[in-house]
Amino acid sequence: MAQAAAVRGRGPGPAAGPEDPGESGPLRRCIATRQVLPKAEMIRFVVDPGGTLVPDLAGSLPGRGLWLRADRDIVALAARRNLFAKAARRPVAVPAGLMDQVERLLTRRCLDLLGLARRSGLAVAGFEAVQAWVSAGRAALLLAASDAGSEGQRKVRAAARCRQGREPAVVALFTGAELAAALGRDAAVAHAAVAPGRIAERLAAEARRLAGMRFGDGMQAEGFSAAEAVRRGPAGEGAAGDGVELG
C-alpha cells in the first residue's frame, strides 16, 4: 500500500523545497508525504511544553505547527516513523491511540457545527422536512444516518437533482443517535439538511477531514482511497463504510 505517496489521484506531490510554506499562508507541507496542500485538508499538531504531541484541529494553539494530510494511515505512518520528532527537532511523546483521538475530536467538531446550525435556524431534521427544503432549493448539505436504510436517502437526492440540477453534498458519517443529540431530538434522526452558508461550508470541510481520519488509505482494499471516500454517498451504494459525497 502506497501510504506515504499517500493519496491516490494526487500523485507524490512536489518535492520538498528548502523552506516550508509560511505560517501565514493558506498552504502547508505534510511532514510525511511532503505534499503542499490547503490547510483545510490537513491536521495541525503542536508539541506542548512537556514534549507531548497535541492535535490542534482549530489551528489556534501556540507553537510551531506539524502538519499532516487528514488521512488515518498517514498519521499512523508519521507516528511509526518518528516523523513528529524529526520535524520538531526534539523528542516528542506521541499519545497512544492518536488516530482515534483525532477522529473523536473531528466527530465532536462536526456535531457541534450541526447543533449550531439548528440553533441558528439553519438545519432541519426528518424526511418530510428535508424533502421540503430540497424541493425549495434550501439544502446545501444533506446528512444521512450511517445506520439507517438508503431508500429515503436516494429519494431525497433524486429530488435534489430534479430541483437544483445537482445533488447537495451528502454526509453519512454519524449514527441516528448522534444526529438526534446534535439536533435536540429524542428519537434517532435518519435525515437532516443544512442551509447554504458558512456553517454548511465549515461542516462539509470538517466532514472531509473526518472521512480521511476514519477510513484512511486502507479503504483502497475496498476499491477506493480516502480521497475517493469523501465523494461517495451513504453506505449501501458500493463499498463498505460511510462517506461524504460532494455532488
Q: Are 55 and 67 in contact (CB under 8 A)?
A: no
pLDDT tens digits, 138-171: 999 999 999 887 776 777 777 777 666 666 788 9
Average of per-residue pLDDT values in the chain: 81
Alpha-carbon distance of 17 to 76, in angstroms, equals 24
Task: Indicate if the pLDDT at residue 181 is higher than 80.
Answer: yes
| Cα separation of the two ends of the chain | 28
Q: Which residues contact 4 (CB under 8 A, 6 or more apart)?
A: 32, 33, 74, 77
Q: Which three cell numbers stand for residue 213?
A: 481520519
Distance of CA 133 to the CA centre of its chain: 24
Ranges of beta strands (E only) in 49-128 are: 53-55, 66-69, 123-125
Q: Would you give the DSSP letter of residue 44?
A: E
The reported pLDDT for the residue numbered 196 is 95
pLDDT band at 233 (very low <50, low <70, confident <90, very high): very low
pLDDT tens digits, 21-58: 555 678 999 999 999 999 999 999 999 999 999 999 99
Domains of the chain, first to last: 27-96 (3.30.1230.10), 100-245 (3.30.1330.30)
Ranges of beta strands (E only) in the chain are: 27-29, 36-38, 42-47, 53-55, 66-69, 123-125, 141-144, 169-171, 191-194, 244-245
Q: Looking at per-residue confidence, does 246 or 194 come out higher? A: 194
Which residues lie across from 38 on neighbouring strands? Answer: 27
